Amino acid sequence: MSGVGLTVPKLMPITGTWAGPFAFYYCLLSCRVVNQRLKTEHYIGDRPPNSTCEPGYDPLETESRAQGNFIENVPLAFILLGVAELNGGNRKALHYVMAALFALRVAHVEGGLRLKGKFGGGGVGRPVGFFGTVGVLGGLGGYASYLVKEYWGF
């Protein structure tokens, strides 16, 4: 109910549903960056100048890139989700897509960037998370465009 007694339908329930988990995970990533900054007493930049870490791996740089990569990809996914949802996209399919995206983003960080090993300093979660995220973004963009094809006369 609005303040004047009108019932207002929930226009974007899928977007609203997934806002919480994604925001919580982003807060976790942000806290990890702050934790590393406090540990290293390096408050600006990604790599302390006198880092004693092994070559190619620095915890502050890793946590900073994990957070940065998340914020580079997730907002576009939410924009595309909102466009698809507002134009009548299948709600069940959109839920599955966002669940997959959440799992892919977690895999990219937890099973990729934060692990020492192959794939550019991380585990197998890094390429799986990257390529999966690109697939989700491409799929959501295509689906959102498909939903409005009549507008263009197709």
Q: Which domain holds residue 65?
A: 13-152
**pTM assigned to the model:** 0.86
CATH number at residue 88: 1.20.120.550
- What pLDDT, on the 0 to 100 scale, is given for residue 83? 97
Tokens of 35: 């934790």
Token pair 């960037």 is found at 113
- What pLDDT, on the 0 to 100 scale, is given for residue 107? 95
Q: Which residues of the chain have pLDDT under 70?
A: 1-3, 47-56, 117-121
What's the domain count of the chain? Answer: 1
Q: What is the pLDDT of residues 32-59, one digit of tens each?
A: 999 998 988 877 777 666 666 665 678 8
Q: What is the pLDDT of residues 89-103, one digit of tens each?
A: 999 999 999 999 999
